[in-house]
Amino acid sequence: MKSSCGARFTLLILFLFAAQSMSVYAGSFHKDVQIHWGDGRGKVLDNLGNLLSLSLDKSSGSGFQSHQEFFYGKAEVQMKLVPGNSAGTVTTFYLKSPGTTWDEIDFEFLGNISGHPYTLHTNVYVKGTGDKEQQFHLCFTIDGIPIREFKNSASLGVPFPNNQPMRLYASLWEAEHWATRGGLEKTDWSKAPFTAFYRNYNVDGCVWDHGKSPCSLNSPGSSSRKPWFTQELDVKGKNRVKWAQRKYMVYNYCTDKKRFPQGAPPECG
């Protein structure tokens, strides 16, 4: 993964659900998503629906969401982040379920001042509670290498996001009070509008339709699919995660003794 401060697109592959699924299709921004806020600041830029832009100015940011909800699967997109001085901006691609006790899996790219790397902020919310942040500085190519694994630790009393369907979302918004160096660097609005690009959106997933999914444990034939629900990274994948975290991680909630003076949360063991 590149930090995408230049003209190239960064490949962001999000292993958001299980590794296998039921429905596979090449996505189109025209048919698969709707730009649900921004008052015209989000635009599909080509006839095939392969390229979409989101913009941010002092009045508003913008964002899109998938038409469908998904239960398990994989999603991927290529992103070109805001170039140059993007301090205070946040460019995202994430999953979220509705309601007050929602589940959420976040990938948020926190803007920079020129010459500094983007910070990739990741988090997991379960039943409306997050506080599971890890952050990375991505300066070199690590496309296709997993950087984080959130294990199912339900046996330890840790909630796991495995029973609520989620939509895919993306947004470009302003958070200068915390996004860049903890809010020390403010947004330079003379550089606005800020623009990020998304292309080659694809989902390989189980669509949630009228309260059920072909990936549900209770669906017909689900017994033959149960291995996906317990599938883990193999030894090679785990070693890659360790490598990426050793080289690029700049914050890990599991090692924050100020937040957890009595010891790390149980899922960190």
* Active-site annotation holder among 108, 176, 185, 267: 108
Q: Which amino acid is at 176?
A: E
Q: Which two tokens stand for residue 75?
A: 């999603």
Q: CB 60: neighbour CB atoms within 10 A?
A: 15
- CB proximity list for 247: less than 8 A, separation 6 or greater: none
Beta bridge partners of 136: 120, 249
Q: Which residues of 98-119 are buried (b: 16+ CB within 10 A; e: fewer)?
A: eeeebbbbbbbbbbbbeebbbb
d(Cα 28, Cα 21) in Å, to the nearest integer?
Answer: 19
Asked about 108 being catalytic, the answer comes back as yes
Structural contact between residues 194 and 100, judged by C-beta atoms closer than 8 angstroms = no
Helix, strand counts (H, E) of the chain: 3, 14
- Measured CA to CA, the distance from residue 189 to residue 170 in angstroms comes to 22
Could you tell me if 85 and 191 are in contact, meaning their C-beta atoms sit under 8 angstroms apart? Answer: yes
Residues pairing with 92 in the sheet: 108, 171
- Residue 249, token pair as written in the block: 């991680």
Asked if 104 is an active-site residue, the reply is: yes
Sheet-wide strand order for 33-37: 33-37, 62-66, 167-174, 89-96, 104-110, 119-125, 134-137, 249-252
Q: Which of 69, 76, 104, 185 is catalytic?
A: 104
Q: Which residues are catalytic?
A: 104, 108
